[in-house]
A and B are shown apart, each in its own frame.
Chain A
Amino acid sequence: MKKTLRYTTIGLAGIAGLAFAASAQAVELNVVSWGGAYTASQLKAYHQPYMAANPDVQLNSLDYSGGLAEVRAQAEAGNVTWDLVDVVVADAIRGCDEGLFMELDHNAMLEAAPDGTPPMEDFLEGTVSDCFVPQIIYSFAFAYRTDAFKGEQPKTMADVFDLEKFPGKRTLQRSPVNNLEWALIADGVPVNEVYDVLDTPEGIERAFAKLDTIKSEVIWWTEGAVPAQLLADGEVVFGNGYNGRLFSAIEEEKQPLAMIWDGQVLDIDGWAVPADGKNIDEVLKFMRFATDTQRLADQAKYISYGPARKSSLPLVSTHAELGIDMEPHMPTKYAELGFLTNFQWWADNRDELNERFEAWLQQ
């Protein structure tokens, strides 16, 4: 009996060893992203062509819900299993500060534009940072129900905050980020002065005071799928959300919604490489491929987020399944109506303002 057990164990160990040796020949990379339609667009535009061209590389797509908790836990445990992470720029900066992501040499590590423009100049201005390669520009914008108001339809941020002209519930993200900026814009602050005003105690008071005027009519969301759902159910008449999700509610599900691009907050999403990963060389090769001009343009076929390279913009074509022209749905087309969120300002002020925002919510 004991002998049988021993032989079985040795046998199993041998098989496991063989399996391990076989898998060691192929490189496995764990690429982490947000899941849903977004990951699907990456799989089609990046992963599948890359694996077809490099049969020895196996890309595992994992989902997460944002934040740096897992990356930090892996770094602290000394066992980094994620090779590449799709992060928002705010997390990239925080992770870079903490040494969780490796610093990149963009010009050396990334592909130049087809006309030879170096990557640092080809990516849209202000989008690249030390540990971060931008992929897409997305925006937080408002949508409204087109059947909610007779006569005049809302067009501006001030309309969103106007309960008299446009009564009804609104849904906003439960976070001080963006809401304070919008409150100021609705209160008449020009888009390019928002952060100057916000940088003073009076500016913050003013933003909260403006938010007070709609507080009773707001449903606060925390999960990105919620605003489109609330709008579709008729629970709210205005909702702010990721423009890609609103796009699929409008164009794919044919909900009676329309976008308000005024005051949209542009944000950037892209790749960061966890420091001390096990396959840095391989992952950099993949990242070089996935962020070249053609690949970024390809992604826009599957989701309405704008590519972060200037050279990709002219290549954006029609939606792969719906066949509609994607250009009018790109937040970058309406860039002058909105503004780029100020990551550094928020990195400095987020901790305090979050407590203040939560306390304000409870009042």
Chain B
Amino acid sequence: MAEAASDPRDVMRTADGTPLKVSIARALRRNRLMALGLIAPLFLFILFSFLIPIVDMSLRSIDNSVVPDNLPRTVEALADWDGENLPPESAFAALAEDLRDGRESREIGKVATRLNYEISGMRGTVMGTSRRVDRIIESGAFKEGLIDANEDWGKPETWLLLKRLSSPYTFGYYLNSLDLRFDPQGAVEAQPEFRRIYVDLFIRTLWMSLLITGLTILLGYPIAHLMATMPLRYSNLLMILVLLPFWTSLLVRTTAWIVMLQSEGVVNSVLVWIGILSDDGRLELIHNKVGTIVAMTHILLPFMVLPLYSVMKTIPPSYMRAARSLGANQFTAFVRIYMPQTVAGIGAGSILVFILAIGYYITPALVGGTSGTLISNQIAYHMQSSLNWGLAAALGVILLGLVIGLYFTYNRLVGVDKMKLG
């Protein structure tokens, strides 16, 4: 020590002679690596099970590689076509050869499915023609043969569609999600009225999720307040009552609501029994939006109560007493002293409930009828039944965009740093 102090150029060293700075840096680096090692499993898990699949799924919303990959000759032949009348004989020949190859590789069905999203009936046209294409190629009369196999090949719209889908990317799925479409010339136009569904569903999903969030605040706030202020043994009992439904299977809770709300169900029967309703005038409480709102509010209530409770628990009762002793009445003290301190809990609960509500689909499918199903039910339909994953992805990306947009608005208005998740 005395030596180091006597020579200012000499650096501090540890017992084994390495400079202290180096030694500290080494120790810090080791700590950082260990910390990294500890979070690595979670990071990799999120990367592989969440981020990569989401990016992959999102890319499907613009992916159109199935057409250029499987009809390469046709795409090339149509590149110079001006879009007037019918394309030249060479395009027909290219298509015939592409169809033959596609049939051999069994990839042609994917093209057929893709084209059918745009014009109904194209699946049959492509599949039927591909079965007869060998004979057409043998005969050498491509144009005649194809039009003879299916008259769709004699329509300029069919060829305009193929030309429009030549690019490996498309915005068609996004247009479809917004009830728009390309007209044969490639300009954007509205879908005919009888095919417009998605915009209405997006709007309905948003307002119903907001309403459900509001209802959970209204119902959850008093419960959370009661739990936070009651003696422990009573509040524990209440906590169990809040958590019990939370631990029950989603399907069981949804089915329970069907039993409660259906027209021969508990609620209606009790109302008829005490004479409020006549037997013919039973209320329609389920298979419509009332059913969805009631069931989802109940199912999502714990996600509001728990953050509220955890925030309220930390508010010292002495604040309220101080306000009262300074002259505020019970109401003023509650509104001006207590409530502002619970904003963090309301914010956290609202974000949780809203984001869960916007993606719900099992409950609306079971109790929603026609007026109570949400956009997620359409996404599920396109994932599982129609296999139109491009459209499902586009709908999903739009929904994600909406949520992110609302989150930023929320951040500007309330501030995410004020949020407290418990």
B113 A94 Cβ-Cβ under 8 A: yes
Q: Which of A330-363 contact B (CB under 8 A)?
A: 344, 347-356, 358-362
B195 A234 Cβ-Cβ under 8 A: no
A362 B127 Cβ-Cβ under 8 A: no
Q: Is B200 an interface residue (CB 8 A)?
A: yes
Chain A residues with CB under 8 A of B109: 96-99
Q: Is B411 an interface residue (CB 8 A)?
A: no
In the assembled complex, the CB of A97 is this many whole angstroms from the nearest CB of chain B, namely 3
Q: Is A68 an interface residue (CB 8 A)?
A: yes
B195 A359 Cβ-Cβ under 8 A: yes
A350 B386 Cβ-Cβ under 8 A: yes
Chain A residues with CB under 8 A of B124: 344, 347-348
A348 B385 Cβ-Cβ under 8 A: no
CA distance A344 to B120 in the complex (A): 12
Q: Is A125 an interface residue (CB 8 A)?
A: no
Residue of B at shortest CB range from A102? Answer: B106
CA distance A233 to B383 in the complex (A): 32
Known: A233-B264, A235-B262, A362-B370. A222 touches B365 (CB 8 A): yes
Q: Is A223 an interface residue (CB 8 A)?
A: yes
Known: A69-B387, A360-B194. A98 touches B120 (CB 8 A): no
Residue of A at shortest CB range from B121? Answer: A348
Q: Is A67 an interface residue (CB 8 A)?
A: yes
Residue of B at shortest CB range from A219? Answer: B287
A97 B383 Cβ-Cβ under 8 A: no
Chain A residues with CB under 8 A of B106: 99, 103
B287 A94 Cβ-Cβ under 8 A: no
In the assembled complex, the CB of B68 is this many whole angstroms from the nearest CB of chain A, namely 18
**Contact digits for A92-128, partner B, Cβ 8 Å, 1 yes 0 no:** 0010111100010000000000000000000000000
In the assembled complex, the CB of A319 is this many whole angstroms from the nearest CB of chain B, namely 28
Q: Is A72 an interface residue (CB 8 A)?
A: yes
Q: Which of A43-75 contact B (CB under 8 A)?
A: 65-69, 72
A347 B123 Cβ-Cβ under 8 A: yes
CA distance A344 to B383 in the complex (A): 21
Known: A96-B109, A97-B123, A99-B106. A359 touches B196 (CB 8 A): yes
Q: Is A220 an interface residue (CB 8 A)?
A: yes
User: A358: which of B110, B116, B117, B378 is its contact (CB, 8 Å)?
Assistant: B378
Residue of B at shortest CB range from A236? Answer: B263
Q: How many residues of B contact A (CB 8 A)?
A: 39
B195 A352 Cβ-Cβ under 8 A: yes
**Contact digits for B248-282, partner A, Cβ 8 Å, 1 yes 0 no:** 00000000000000111100000000000000000
CA distance A362 to B196 in the complex (A): 10
Chain B residues with CB under 8 A of A72: 387
Residue of A at shortest CB range from B265? Answer: A233
CA distance A96 to B112 in the complex (A): 12
Q: How many residues of A contact B (CB 8 A)?
A: 37
In the assembled complex, the CB of A300 is this many whole angstroms from the nearest CB of chain B, namely 28
Chain A contact residues, majority secondary structure: helix
A97 B127 Cβ-Cβ under 8 A: yes
**Contact digits for B365-377, partner A, Cβ 8 Å, 1 yes 0 no:** 1100111000000
In the assembled complex, the CB of B223 is this many whole angstroms from the nearest CB of chain A, namely 32
In the assembled complex, the CB of B41 is this many whole angstroms from the nearest CB of chain A, namely 17
CA distance A68 to B388 in the complex (A): 11
In the assembled complex, the CB of B286 is this many whole angstroms from the nearest CB of chain A, namely 9
In the assembled complex, the CB of A168 is this many whole angstroms from the nearest CB of chain B, namely 11
In the assembled complex, the CB of B264 is this many whole angstroms from the nearest CB of chain A, namely 5
CA distance A356 to B369 in the complex (A): 17
Chain B residues with CB under 8 A of A174: 370
Q: Is B215 an interface residue (CB 8 A)?
A: no
Q: Is B107 an interface residue (CB 8 A)?
A: yes
A354 B264 Cβ-Cβ under 8 A: no
User: A97: which of B112, B121, B195 is its contact (CB, 8 Å)?
Assistant: B112
In the assembled complex, the CB of A269 is this many whole angstroms from the nearest CB of chain B, namely 16
B197 A362 Cβ-Cβ under 8 A: yes
B113 A359 Cβ-Cβ under 8 A: no
Chain A residues with CB under 8 A of B120: 348-349, 351-353
A348 B387 Cβ-Cβ under 8 A: no
Chain A residues with CB under 8 A of B110: 97-99
Chain B residues with CB under 8 A of A220: 287, 369-370
Q: Which of B192-219 contact A (CB under 8 A)?
A: 193-197, 200
Chain A residues with CB under 8 A of B122: 348
Q: Is B31 an interface residue (CB 8 A)?
A: no
CA distance A128 to B123 in the complex (A): 20
In the assembled complex, the CB of B371 is this many whole angstroms from the nearest CB of chain A, namely 8
Chain A residues with CB under 8 A of B194: 356, 359-360
Chain A residues with CB under 8 A of B200: 362
Q: Is B332 an interface residue (CB 8 A)?
A: no
CA distance A97 to B302 in the complex (A): 46
Residue of A at shortest CB range from B263? Answer: A235
CA distance A172 to B202 in the complex (A): 25
In the assembled complex, the CB of A344 is this many whole angstroms from the nearest CB of chain B, namely 6
Known: A96-B109, A97-B109, A359-B195. A351 touches B366 (CB 8 A): no
Chain B residues with CB under 8 A of A65: 384
CA distance A343 to B47 in the complex (A): 41
Chain A residues with CB under 8 A of B386: 350-351, 354
**Contact digits for B352-394, partner A, Cβ 8 Å, 1 yes 0 no:** 0000000000000110011100000010010111111000000
User: B197: which of A69, A94, A226, A359 is its contact (CB, 8 Å)?
Assistant: A359
CA distance A360 to B263 in the complex (A): 25
Chain B residues with CB under 8 A of A234: 264
In the assembled complex, the CB of A230 is this many whole angstroms from the nearest CB of chain B, namely 8
CA distance A66 to B108 in the complex (A): 24
B262 A351 Cβ-Cβ under 8 A: no
Known: A69-B384, A233-B262. A348 touches B116 (CB 8 A): yes
A235 B264 Cβ-Cβ under 8 A: yes
A351 B116 Cβ-Cβ under 8 A: yes
In the assembled complex, the CB of B350 is this many whole angstroms from the nearest CB of chain A, namely 28
CA distance A233 to B282 in the complex (A): 15
User: A223: which of B116, B196, B197, B366 is its contact (CB, 8 Å)?
Assistant: B366
- 16 pairs of residues in contact across A and B, judged by CB atoms under 8 Å: A65-B384, A66-B384, A67-B384, A68-B384, A223-B366, A233-B262, A235-B262, A344-B124, A348-B116, A348-B121, A349-B120, A349-B121, A350-B386, A351-B388, A360-B194, A362-B371
Nearest first, the 9 closest Cβ-Cβ pairs linking A and B are A97-B109, A67-B384, A99-B106, A352-B120, A348-B124, A361-B370, A69-B384, A355-B195, A358-B197
* Contacts A223-B365, A235-B262, A349-B121 known; 13 new A-B pairs at CB < 8 A: A65-B384, A66-B385, A69-B387, A97-B127, A99-B106, A99-B107, A99-B109, A222-B366, A348-B122, A350-B386, A351-B388, A352-B120, A356-B195
